[in-house]
Amino acid sequence: MFLRTELTMKNHQFGRITESLADELAELRTIRFLDASQIQETDPKKALANLLSRAFSPITQDAHTLTDRFKRLLATDEVDLATFFERPDLKLTPAVFARLSLQLLAFEPEVDYDLDQPLTAYASLQLPFFEVQTFQHASDVWHAWYHLLTTHTKHGETYLDYLAQLGYFRPFYNVTTQPIFFNGKAQPVFDPHSLIREVVYVEAPLDSDQDGQRDLLKVQVIRPQVTETGYRAPVLYTASPYHLGTNDQWGQALTHQVDQALTEKPVTPAATTSEPKPSSVAPLPPKRIPAGYTQEASEHFAPENGYHLNDYFLSRGFAVVYAAGIGTRGSQGFRDTGSVAETLSTVAVIEWLNGQRQAFTNQCDQLAIDAWWSNRHIAMTGRSYLGTLATAAASTGVDGLKTVIAEAAISSWYDYYRDHGLVAAPDTFQGEDMDVLAAEVFSRRLDAGDYLKVKSAFGKTLNAIAKAQARANGNYSTYWDARNYLNQLSAIKADVVVIHGLNDWNVKPRHAYQLWQGLRDLPITKKLILHQGQHIYINNFRSLDVTDMLNLWLTNKLFDLDNGADTQLPAVLVQDNVSPETWHTYPDWPSSAQAKQTLYLGGNQLSPNPGPSQTQMTTYSDHLPDQQFNHYRKQIAAWQHDLLTDELGSPMANNRLLFKGPKLTQDWYLNGVPQVTLTISSDHPFGLVSCQLVDFGPAHRLTTKPTLLAKNQLSGAYDWRKDDLVEFTLNPQVSPYKMITKGHLNLQNQTSLWQANAVNPGQFYTVTLPLQPTVYHLPAGRQLGLVIYATDFATTIRGNQPIHYTVDLTKSRLDLPLN
């Protein structure tokens, strides 16, 4: 009846800060682990008993019942805690404290640690040691207890957060009027079931649906009850176009056919696609004149399907704001994916939260309502499109936006739907494009009464997007340039946290890399976390205290608490791809200590030394038998397998070049942008090149998706929304290889993305193809592989054309950044 997963637990905590004993004691008093009488105590064991009675207070306040619980804990490996407290001959030692802590932290005796070796376990589990050599005075216990409260349990949260889930902070609910901080982080002292949920309509400086009225945008506010009595809350704002519904079937109907031939692009002197006329260029209608002012909203909403990171902060004194933006259900306007108007509409909400833009209680009364409850300190959060809009907003330099946490965010829309002159789909979304996405999120369509009035006009917007994205062309253009946030990074004033998956082939790693490069020299604080996931969020992983780090960060940025977050958190954190639950810190990405390794192509080999200098020509075809082609169209995993396998008889054997390096004699750490230089010809006046870098060698590799460790384990507050605890674990099956990174280019864009070159059939061109950036640990014994091919069933269009490519191996190479 049981599924079992073997794990190597390793705890990483970067969000813990070190305080003086005086501060520790003061904070313990603030969160009521000590009171005026207890602070008089001198005896270590009595002090410990007092603390434990506080820790168990949500469970029982009855002395005998508490003793019952103490009997279930071991103090020494032979004496239970109740007996330990009764026996004056038994002293409190570091081993006793550590053993007790391990039990309280839910580590499993005999499984996670040996009961007679608790201090060893502290080391092997990487738990931060409390550094008390002898418990001579109560203050030693208080210090160690403070330490325990900030230490992670087996389930990836601090012991204090675990106690919060048990109800420790319930007595604070009705008496607390201001946030309470502990170890530099806000605590859950506000009842998440007394939150106020209300709707306002922010007036954006846009008339994107050209109805002669500025667009009103529906904004959902969730604020603590104590804002009613004077407290002013910082705001976590998530702009999510998906939040109020999506048009999945419509999007599916609009999805482009990808089984199409690559064609020759016109060689024109400049980009031929032009930016569709932005709506915001039309004369902007005047602001609405308020008919009056109110502090009371007239519309409310039911508890949302929230974003776990935001949910965590809802009991900690933060407000959370969700806005789906222009063109979504309950809002006005039309959304043009990635446009300036989209950014302006995103920013309008921040301006309202910062007191610089007006909003109304509904769409008709013009009764103005201010964000009077806001402390004017705003952060943006969210993953994917949500994180993208956070990046977009930050790139305007809008006032009030103190930080953005951009998870798996797009930094340039060209890099999302195109690659180096080619249409290149995000993973699993073949045929999607800017127009499809615009239709998907146009949730005004879900309100039949609203949609009836704008159906025809929005159809025109959609057509304009379809034309401007110029799917048949693939070049970069003014259209794409206007949707490239990298152009505006210098305006950023907000501090930035970038979080991205090194295996994210939906929003590919280049997005984070380019953003990081653009932020590097700005006078802001920036942090980067690179994990081994695909397109996921990571605040529920056991091995890393993401939630604590972000609490430290947001408490610093939004409450202005001087907790040292800027220096406490590492600049760059990277999850190891070989050892589970292992994280490395770096000063930068690429890491500053760079070595370059060049590998040369010859035979089927990758070699550190150039081969013979005579020409070595190798040809491969892009054409497959119809049956094979149709099979791969439907079974992309089978295609990927056949592409990479070097088993004899792979149906892809003639459709790719595969090179393998020697077995490594030492570990290699790739860090940055691997680059392939090819001297290549096509027998057509056009062509495409794809490359994959591969880790070859049988191994148990990390699972591609996180393994569920404990369902609904995490919530961070009493009786509140729960999240699953997960972790990447080693796959029990051996895999023969893993793709490290990949890249694509259109041969006609070998010199410029803006402009196509002519390609003469049979003529050789030397092209440089930067693969997606990576950090990759390739252990000794593995072999690095490079696969060169054309059509990518997961990514490019698929014409199954009889194009033949020839590579001159002597003039081709692979350049690797190592550290």
Q: Of 103 and 655, which has the nearer Cβ to a copy of itself? A: 103
- In sequence order, which residues have a C-beta less than 8 Å from that of residue 414 and are 6 or more positions away? 476, 480, 483, 484, 753
617 versus 734: smaller Cβ distance to a copy of itself: 734
Output the smallest distance, CB 405 to a copy of itself, in A.
19
Q: Contact, 213 vs 285, CB < 8 A? A: yes
Q: Which residues of 15-46 are buried (b: 16+ CB within 10 A; e: fewer)?
A: bbbebeeeebbebbeebebbeeebeebeebbe
Report helix, strand or coil for 512.
helix
Between 86 and 447, CB nearer to a copy of itself: 447
Least Å from the CB of residue 561 to a copy of itself: 28
Structure-block tokens of residue 374: 């806001």
Given 143, 535, 744, 804, the catalytic residue: 535
10 Å Cβ neighbour count for 562? Answer: 9
Is 504 a catalytic site residue? yes
Specify the residue, 304 or 399, whose C-beta has the smaller distance to a copy of itself. Answer: 304
Q: Is 535 a catalytic residue?
A: yes
Q: Which is nearer to a copy of itself, 193 or 460 (CB)?
A: 193
C-alpha span between 376 and 642 (Å, rounded): 55
**Residue 441 CB, nearest approach to a copy of itself (Å):** 9
At 170 the three-state DSSP class reads helix
| Helix 138-149 vs helix 94-104: crossing angle, to nearest 10 | 30
Nearer to a copy of itself, 299 or 815 (CB): 299
Name the minimum Å distance from CB 430 to a copy of itself: 12
| Shortest Å, Cβ 332 to a copy of itself | 12
Residue 648 CB: number of other CB atoms within 10 A? 6
Smallest CA-to-CA distance from 81 within 93, 95, 69 is with 69
Q: Name every residue whose Cβ is closer than 8 Å to that of residue 253 and which is 6 or more positions away in sequence.
A: none
CB-CB contact of 395 with 492 (8 Å): yes
Residue by residue, DSSP assigns 438-457 as: HHHT-GGGGSHHHHHHHHHH
Per annotation, catalytic residue among 345, 384, 412, 715:
384
CB of 329 to a copy of itself, least distance (A): 8
d(CA 619, CA 683): 10
CB of residue 337 vs a copy of itself: minimum separation in angstroms? 11
**Is residue 208 exposed (0-12), middle (13-18) or buried (19+ Cβ within 10 Å)?**
buried
CA dist 323 to 211, 244, 291, 497, Å? 21, 9, 24, 21
b/e burial code for range 656-684 (CB count within 10 A of at least 16 → b): bbbbbbeeeeeebbbbbbbbbbbbbbbeb
Pairing of strands 774-778, 526-531: unpaired
Buried (b) or exposed (e) across 82-103, using 16+ Cβ within 10 A?
bebbeeeeeebbbbbbbbbbbb
Catalytic residue among 504, 545, 723, 792: 504
AA letter at 552: L
Which CB sits closer to a copy of itself, 71 or 91? 71
Q: What is the CA radius of gyration of the chain?
A: 29
359: phi then psi, degrees, rounded to nearest 5:
-135, 165
**Coil/strand/helix, residue 672:** strand
Minimum CB separation from a copy of itself for residue 699, in Å?
15
Kindly tell me which of 22 and 111 has the beta carbon lying closer to a copy of itself.
111
Nearer to a copy of itself, 51 or 81 (CB): 81
Minimum Å gap between C-beta 193 and a copy of itself is 5
Residue with smaller CB distance to a copy of itself, 428 or 463: 428
Q: Pairing between strand 359-360 and 196-203?
A: antiparallel
Question: Which residues touch 650 (CB under 8 Å, ≥6 apart)?
Answer: 642, 643
Query: Is the Cβ–Cβ distance between 505 and 739 less than 8 Å?
Result: no
Compute CA distances 55 → 140, 244, 717, whole Å. 18, 41, 15
661, 678, 638, 674: which is closest to 790 by C-alpha? 678
| Cα 527 from Cα 586, distance rounded (Å) | 11
Please state at what angle helix 340-353 crosses helix 385-394, rounded to 10 degrees. Answer: 70
CB of 750 to a copy of itself, least distance (A): 30
Rounded least distance, CB 710 to a copy of itself, Å: 9
Give residues with Cβ within 8 angstroms of 112, minimum separation 6.
9, 102, 121, 125, 154
Nearer to a copy of itself, 535 or 656 (CB): 535
Query: Whole-number minimum distance, CB 436 to a copy of itself, in Å?
Result: 8
Cis upstream peptide for 706 (omega within 30°): no
Nearer to a copy of itself (CB atom), residue 385 or residue 541: 385
Kindly state the smallest distance separating residue 519's Cβ from a copy of itself, in Å: 24
Instruction: Judge contact between 240 and 224, C-beta under 8 A.
Output: no
C-beta closer to a copy of itself: residue 300 or 460 = 300
Q: Are 247 and 438 in contact (CB under 8 A)?
A: no
Residues involved in catalysis: 384, 504, 535
